[in-house]
Amino acid sequence: MSFNLNTILRPNIKNLKPYSSARDEFKGEASVYLDANENAFGSPLSQAFHRYPDPMAYAVKMRLSEIKGVPARNIFLGNGSDEAIDILFRSFCNPGVDNVIIVPPTYGMYEVSANINDVQIKRVNLTEDYQLNLEGIAEAIDKNTKLIFICSPNNPTGNSIKREDIETLLANFNGLVVIDEAYINFSRQKTFIQELTEYANLVVLQTLSKAWGLAALRVGMAFASEEIIEIFNKVKPPYNVNEASQKFALEALRNVDQVNDWIKEILKERDALVLALRNFDFVIDIYPSDANFVLVKTADADGIYKYLTEKGIIVRNRNKVELCEGCLRITVGTNKENQALINSLKKLKDD
Ligand code: PMP
């Protein structure tokens, strides 16, 4: 393989002189800070937020480095992993010229981000069993293909993508292979973040929004080579992860045991939910899930969705998504929430 980061980087980004903030320029300890036009008197809050945060969120990265076993220099932190997706487009895809490959049905933001950045999308649908169509992908790749997005476990189908197939892409594609592991904590499959030294074209996305229970804080991660992370840091807004998010993320990252207990509980609830759903006549299929949700093929997705909404229960209707016709995506909730769903569905059956 002849992957060369410099040849896929946009020329304007290669030549970009990044913004240098006050906090970038002076990194030591001082007693008087008159360099960033902040309000030196304080914040009208119980906690101090009047100083700009660390632009690189270094303390959070150090803690993540311990948890993940990946050096801090290989970690980028963003305002959700959605920000990392957007930065990939802005760094590597020339608008109106380059293209990316997505493998539907998959997470919707790859397509939205491509459209925002005026980047052509090549769709190579997953196979019937929601795996990669490697031949189709090979045919779709041309000299302007910069990124391939693989979501594993995949949203909305819930299954993991075969590791050997992803490895085939990593070994043969001269652009970046982006593996979105937002749901990896629920999966039996191994993460790809240990493979960064093996593949220079690998970018792994993870997030604190799912298993970590911090969706509102907006903290997403990208793991990649040091060279790729440097590009991300050049392109990102100066203070993309705010001080409240950094503080709370750091506090939460001390609570690994709590999160691991919840993961076990969620998996137990998922199994129970699947068993209960199997009893309904209108459930045609429940796809195997490696995530904290299940994709359920039903006889009447729109009708069931509407009925549940009237009962105050919201699931995700995927009926209009190609290869997901008739499907509802149901997040695994607490035992009480899952019971409420099942009880409502029982009443639908009786109606
Ligand atoms: N990737 C996938 C596969 C997702 O499902 C989501 C959230 N729905 C995201 C990324 C975005 O996560 P974040 O909250 O970190 O932006």
The DSSP secondary structure of 13-43, one letter per residue, reads: HHT------HHHH--S--S---SS---TT--
pLDDT at 26 over 90: no
CA–CA dist 97, 120 (Å, integer) = 8
User: Which of 155, 184, 214 to mutate to test ligand 1, by most ligand atoms within 8 A of the CB atom?
Assistant: 155
Per-residue pLDDT tens digits for 216-248: 999 999 999 999 999 999 999 999 999 999 999
Per-residue pLDDT tens digits for 133-168: 999 999 999 999 999 999 999 999 999 999 999 999
- Show the tokens assigned to 337: 């929430």
User: Which of 64, 209, 221, 295 to mutate to test ligand 1, by most ligand atoms within 8 A of the CB atom?
Assistant: 209
Note the pLDDT of residue 24.
Answer: 85
Q: What is the pTM of this model?
A: 0.97
Note the pLDDT of residue 139.
Answer: 98
- 257-350: CATH topology is Aspartate Aminotransferase, domain 1 (3.90.1150)
What proportion of the chain, given as a percentage, has pLDDT over 90?
95
CA–CA dist 106, 99 (Å, integer) = 17
CA–CA dist 211, 207 (Å, integer) = 8
Note the pLDDT of residue 1.
Answer: 57
- CATH code linked to domain 5-254: 3.40.640.10
Note the pLDDT of residue 169.
Answer: 98
Quickly state the pLDDT bin for 117 (edges 50, 70, 90).
very high
Which residue ranges have their beta carbon within 6 Å of ligand 1?
80-82, 107, 151, 155, 180, 182, 207, 209, 215, 220
Q: What is the CA radius of gyration of the chain?
A: 22
Q: Which ligand 1 atom sits nearest the alpha carbon of residue 207?
A: 15
Note the pLDDT of residue 178.
Answer: 98
The residue whose two tokens read 């991660």 is 221
CA 22–ligand 1 middle distance (angstroms): 31
Residue minimizing CA distance to atom 12 of ligand 1: 81
Per-residue pLDDT tens digits for 266-302: 999 999 999 999 999 999 999 999 999 999 999 999 9
Calculate mean pLDDT across residues 170-189.
Answer: 97
Note the pLDDT of residue 301.
Answer: 97
Cis peptide before 156 (omega within 30 of 0): yes
User: Where are the domains positioned within the chain?
Assistant: 5-254, 257-350
How do 176-180 and 145-151 pair as beta strands? parallel
The answer to whether 131 touches 162, Cβ cutoff 8 Å, is: yes
Side-chain-side CA neighbours of residue 243 (13 Å) = 9
Secondary structure of residue 123 in the 3-state scheme? strand
Compute φ and ψ for 207, nearest 5 degrees. -150, 155
- Among 201, 206, 176, 171, smallest CA distance to 191 is for 206
CA 291–ligand 1 middle distance (angstroms): 12
Per-residue pLDDT tens digits for 46-101: 999 999 999 999 999 999 999 999 999 999 999 999 999 999 999 999 999 999 99
Note the pLDDT of residue 350.
Answer: 63
Give all strands (DSSP E) within 216-260, no chain letters. 220-223
pLDDT at 45 over 60: yes
Quickly state the pLDDT bin for 40 (edges 50, 70, 90).
very high
How do 220-223 and 202-207 pair as beta strands? antiparallel
Note the pLDDT of residue 265.
Answer: 98
Mean of the per-residue pLDDT values of the chain? 96
Note the pLDDT of residue 27.
Answer: 82
CA–CA dist 326, 197 (Å, integer) = 42
Q: Which ligand 1 atom sits nearest the alpha carbon of residue 82?
A: 16
